[in-house]
Amino acid sequence: MDEEQPVDLSALDPTVPRGAFEARLARVRHAARHALRERREGGNPLEVVARWRAPLLAALVLVVLASAVLVRSAQIEAALETEPADEIADLLGVPALEGDALLSTTTSTSDLLLGGSPQ
């Protein structure tokens, strides 16, 4: 059957003649030069940011977590430092300031005035 045979469409072939095809390729090359250069140079700043977005976010989360841990441990340390004086003051039934004085290794002004010996 005639319809089983291909139609000769070679006159529409864009790769022939060779000179015309080379000119078409040169146009494509010319139009693509910016995209190729950007790829060679690693992309524009927005693309670079987009590429590093995930690692940057991960690093940010780590910094926030590490900061939270440091702040919390500093708070605990501060609380531990104040606890003994408060406990002694509680046990003796005196104000917290006097508990501090009891733990202090230096002689207080009132001791000196009352003629107490240095501890």
Partner 1 sequence: MSRPAPIPPDADLVALALRGDGGAFDQLVRRHYRAAFSVALGVLANRHDAEDVCQDAFVKALERLEDCREPARFVQWLLVIARNRALSYHSYRRIRETAELLPEIAEAPDSPADDLARAQLGDRLEAALATLSATQRTVVLMHDLEGWTHKEIADVLDMTEVRSRQHLFVARKLLRAVLGEYRNG
- What CA–CA distance (Å, rounded) separates 35 from 23? 20
Q: At what angle do helices 45-92 and 96-103 cross, to 10 degrees?
A: 90
Q: Output the smallest distance, CB 5 to partner 1, in A.
A: 8
Q: Output the smallest distance, CB 59 to partner 1, in A.
A: 23
The region of 36-44, 66-74, 87-95, 102-110 touching partner 1 under the rule CB under 8 A is: 36-44
Name 111's Cβ contacts closer than 8 Å, sequence gap at least 6.
Answer: 118
Does residue 31 touch partner 1 according to CB under 8 A? Answer: yes
Which residue ranges make up the site for partner 1 (CB under 8 A)? 2-3, 5-32, 35-41
